[in-house]
Amino acid sequence: MATRNSSVRGASPVWLVLVGILSVQLGAGIAKSLFDEVDPTTMVWLRLATSAVVLLAIARPRLRGRSRTDWLVVLAFGLSLGTMNWAIYQAFARIPLGVAVTLEFVGPLTLAVVGSRRPRDLLWVALAGLGVALLGLGGGGTVTLAGVLFALLAGASWAAYILLSAQTGRRWPGLDGLALASLAATVALAPAAVAVGGADLLDPRILLLGALVGLLSSVIPYSCELVALRSLRPSVFSILMSLEPAAAALAGIVVLGEVLSAEQWLAMACVVVASVGATRSARTVAPAPD
């Protein structure tokens, strides 16, 4: 009995992280399938709004007694969160899911090796660079310059998100910082979402689908990760997160029929291996996008 229980405790956190990864990419696939009738900006705003409502209801953050720096940090965190989500949805609208998420991973991967003095870490940079080059050379008509640039912007925002997440966590307890950052991102993106969304934001069907995407892409994965990290080593968590590009490619195939070329699969493998290698060297956590 003890052996079976210990086995369950060891496996459960890993499965929770994997469920979270699959949920994020399933949500992305569903969102992209709606881009013909809903603008990506509107869809990402609905996702952020859903996340903000749920997180605020759970956290109920205390606002009194906060310093100016506390507010500046959480607002910057919200800006990085909003930019990251908006940019990756713009990339999804232009290039396959697997390609977009692979390029996005360049951001946290670069952060993992910046400042490293270990010569072997240059190998991970070179391997990731090879992956990006293969995406450019072997993408054919499925990869556009705009899509690549949006994915790289999402990656840069992800790196900023990681740095600001640590600062926010030190200044705001529990989920307070993330809840307020989600609210800030929702408010910042609202004018653009209203401008391009128009009547779509009054359509109950669109609102329900947007809420579903928010639950799949934000609420469920974050909840899974929060529980998993109570017993899962950060290094193991980071390595598991490196499976995101492969999960995105799988969601693209199943939900959207996006079949990648051999060069794109090879490029993805290069970036995933580079991410795992850099993570093992740095022993740091690269939190998943909200």
* Residue-wise pLDDT tens digits, 217-228: 888 887 787 677
Neighbours of 80 (CB within 10 A): 23
Assign 64 a pLDDT band (cuts: 50, 70, 90): confident
Mean pLDDT over 192-215 rounds to: 88
In this structure, is residue 287 part of a structural domain? no
In this structure, is residue 241 part of a structural domain? yes
In this structure, is residue 152 part of a structural domain? yes
Q: Quick check: 80 and 146 in contact, CB under 8 A?
A: no
Structural domain containing residue 51: 2-282
Assign 63 a pLDDT band (cuts: 50, 70, 90): confident
In this structure, is residue 289 part of a structural domain? no
- Please, what is the end-to-end C-alpha distance for the chain in angstroms? 38
Per-residue confidence (pLDDT) for residue 198, from 0 to 100: 81
In this structure, is residue 59 part of a structural domain? yes
In this structure, is residue 168 part of a structural domain? yes
In this structure, is residue 76 part of a structural domain? yes
In this structure, is residue 288 part of a structural domain? no
Most confident range (mean pLDDT) of 1-5, 41-45, 102-106, 202-206 is 41-45
Looking at the structure of the chain, the number of domains it has is 1
Q: Quick check: 245 and 132 in contact, CB under 8 A?
A: no
Assign 152 a pLDDT band (cuts: 50, 70, 90): very high
